[in-house]
Amino acid sequence: MTFQRARSEEQREIRRQAILDTARSMLDEMPAAEVGLNELSRRVGLAKSNVLRYFESREAVLLELLTDALEVWIAEVSDELAAGVDLRLSAGERGEQLAVILSGSLARHTVLCDLANAQAGVLEHNVSVDVVLRHKRSALANLETVVELLHHHLPELGDNARTVCMTALLLAGAMSTYCRPSASTLAAYAADPSLTRLQVDLGSGLESAVSLLVAGALARSGVR
């Protein structure tokens, strides 16, 4: 892909979107921590200095992709909750349905999990205050959207809905790293199969963790 010099706002937006799309495709191949500016520039067909005219750093690119991934997930999980949570059931039964849907949906969005895990340790470094402010404000708005969804399907959570939402995302991010064992770790499991009890499956592990999280939040809200 090659570009002529961007002379209009429309051309600049096309180039900016090309950078985002290229970085998004790289995330299908590698963890966020391995997405480098040199390779991103090569793939998008721009000099690194030109990429930096649109995004101040590779972390700024990835933060924007995190916001996009979160918004895509919210749209999908909203439909899944509407279809999968039976409002006629008890709070405990609805809580279990909600936990299964939340965890299953997050487990399918592996790029979101990876970006969420890299957020504090990687993505929020080497960026300006303005970039962080923009990202955090979007994140707060998205968080409130998910909290509203949880309140609709499980109002018994009360103020604990925010904790459930944030903790579920943190768990998904942290657990996702354990589901990509290194070659040496896989070889160790093969050499000693008893060690596979330490291996984490993102889908089932996240479902168990989020189910416990929701059940605990309901108990804390006084729901038995």
Model pLDDT, residue 179: 84
Q: Are the C-beta atoms of 123 and 62 separated by less than 8 Å? A: yes
- C-beta contacts of 35-39 below 8 A and 24+ residues apart: 35/62
Q: Are the C-beta atoms of 93 and 218 separated by less than 8 Å? A: no
Model pLDDT, residue 4: 52
CATH code at 1-55: 1.10.10
What residue ranges do the domains of the chain occupy? 1-55, 58-220
Model pLDDT, residue 7: 63
Model pLDDT, residue 117: 94
Q: CATH topology of 1-55 equal to that of 58-220?
A: no
Model pLDDT, residue 223: 80
Spans of the chain, pLDDT less than 70: 1-7, 224
Kindly report, residue by residue over 54-80, the tens digit of the pLDDT: 999 999 999 999 999 999 999 999 999
CA 217 to chain centre: 22
Model pLDDT, residue 178: 85
Write down the architecture of domain 58-220 according to CATH: Orthogonal Bundle (1.10)
Model pLDDT, residue 219: 94
Model pLDDT, residue 6: 54
- C-beta contacts of 194-202 below 8 A and 24+ residues apart: 200/175, 202/107, 202/110, 202/113, 202/172, 202/175, 202/176
